[in-house]
Chains A and B, each alone.
Chain A
């Protein structure tokens, strides 16, 4: 997995909890180094070790940690560049949902080494969608769940989300049901295409 993913786990722990907590994860996972490098590529195992270590140290389930990471990606000020890149996808939350089909390709265009799961958005009614995420292991779905919930707040809409999962040896399919309850629920957060610090 790309260093960015591992670095994300580290940043999440350091920013939401504190650096000592990350030291605890490093010890628990028996890593030989303290810091991940965002621009290097690591073995898949390393990411799993980091997440499992985080789950143990925090006393939460893997899924809960992954969901929190998803929310962190959208809400924390240190992750502002990520939030911006997600909001490029759509002016409204609905538009954003449709852009999820393109998200993996866009990310690959920007960072070719960063592997992304396959994502497919299906519309049932205007306010009912499902997002199907397929990858060789479960986990991304939980991150997306946390991310979508936080993005709902960011766009100012009220959502109901539910995830189900099928794991079948070589692959995992995670399906998130997204129901848009209210479009103008709250102000949401501002976003400008221009990256000059105002949004």
Chain B
């Protein structure tokens, strides 16, 4: 038994196991009083040899007074016939530290002791856990990428309808203030008909760039139809600001767009509304109202921006 202590009838250490000797830090313990070398933590109040003598066979927890700080647990047995005491110890979870601190080998543990199996298990589980963590990180990365793609309009790189619906649903839940714009391109169909779909695609990509240039980084720009866009402006209550942005967009979009030597001309009709117009902002209502305002812009000659007005 590599981790045992044998105590004489007078309380002196008669014998210690070879592994326990290693833990003694080179100090001599044979012949010394047991309670001088070790402190008994459980049971409590074992301050004298007399108290130790009266202890019943059973579990014990002790620690070196001057050595490694491992709380060791074991079995305490009174060898009646010889008036000796035998304590057989285990390092418990501290075995990992002990093996490292004292360079212990498998030969330092009893064959009947599952210590080596435990060390093996700890190491194997740790390798498996590391691999699992790496898998989790890869899956997380793939998930984020997939979500990104689910919210993106492939042609323009703008967000798509799904993304705008998700954001608006969130904004409706919170009491955030925001502005909502519906934008339809004017004369886009003509570009496609006259110059072909490649030109149309080029124009759409150009439009995406213009919309980004006219808005702030935190604003959402979504392509929700062939030539239809939804813009959401977070933290916005200012009609003047929103109007300025709408005008800027139209200005940028009316600049001639060159494609393979041909000049394409478009414009935009815009309808907008603000959550602050409503006592309880409901997305469906706001979308309808923005549409109504958009329709008015078209009706009045296109290439303009109109705010929704409740009395309309």
Contacts and interface: CB of A to CB of B under 8 A. Distances in A.
Interface string B119-143: 1110111111001100100100000
Contacts of A81: 123, 127
Given A88-B123, A110-B121, 19 more contacts: A37-B135, A37-B138, A39-B131, A84-B123, A88-B106, A88-B120, A91-B105, A91-B107, A106-B120, A106-B121, A109-B117, A110-B124, A192-B103, A193-B104, A194-B100, A194-B103, A194-B104, A195-B126, A196-B100
A107 B126 CA distance: 13
Interface string A70-90: 000000000001001100101
Contact of B123 (A85, A91, A107): A85
29 contacts: A37-B135, A37-B138, A38-B135, A39-B128, A39-B135, A81-B123, A84-B123, A85-B120, A85-B124, A85-B127, A88-B116, A88-B119, A90-B106, A91-B107, A106-B117, A106-B121, A109-B121, A109-B124, A110-B120, A110-B124, A193-B104, A193-B105, A193-B119, A194-B99, A194-B100, A195-B100, A195-B123, A195-B126, A196-B100
A181 B151 CA distance: 68
Interface of A: 37-40, 81, 84-85, 88, 90-91, 95, 106-107, 109-111, 192-196
The majority secondary structure among interface residues of chain B is helix
Task: State the 8 A-B residue pairs at the shortest beta-carbon distance, nearest first.
Answer: A110-B124, A194-B100, A88-B120, A193-B99, A81-B127, A38-B131, A39-B135, A194-B99
B135 to A, nearest CB: 5
A91 B119 CA distance: 14
B125 A91 contact: no
Contacts of B106: 88, 90-91, 95, 193
Contacts of A37: 135, 138
A90 B120 CA distance: 12
Nearest to A194: B100
- A95, A106, A196: which has the most chain B beta carbons within 10 Å? A106
Contacts of A192: 103
Given A88-B116, A90-B106, A91-B107, A111 B99 contact: no
Nearest to A196: B100
A73 to B, nearest CB: 13
A79 B104 CA distance: 23
A110 B99 CA distance: 20
Nearest to A193: B99
Contacts of B103: 192, 194
Contact of A111 (B105, B119, B128, B135): B128
Contacts of B138: 37
Nearest to A40: B135
B18 to A, nearest CB: 15
A95 B106 CA distance: 11
B108 to A, nearest CB: 9
A106 B132 CA distance: 19
A195 to B, nearest CB: 6
B124 to A, nearest CB: 3
A65 B126 CA distance: 29
Contacts of B100: 194-196
B128 A110 contact: yes
Interface in B124-166: 124-128, 131-132, 135, 138
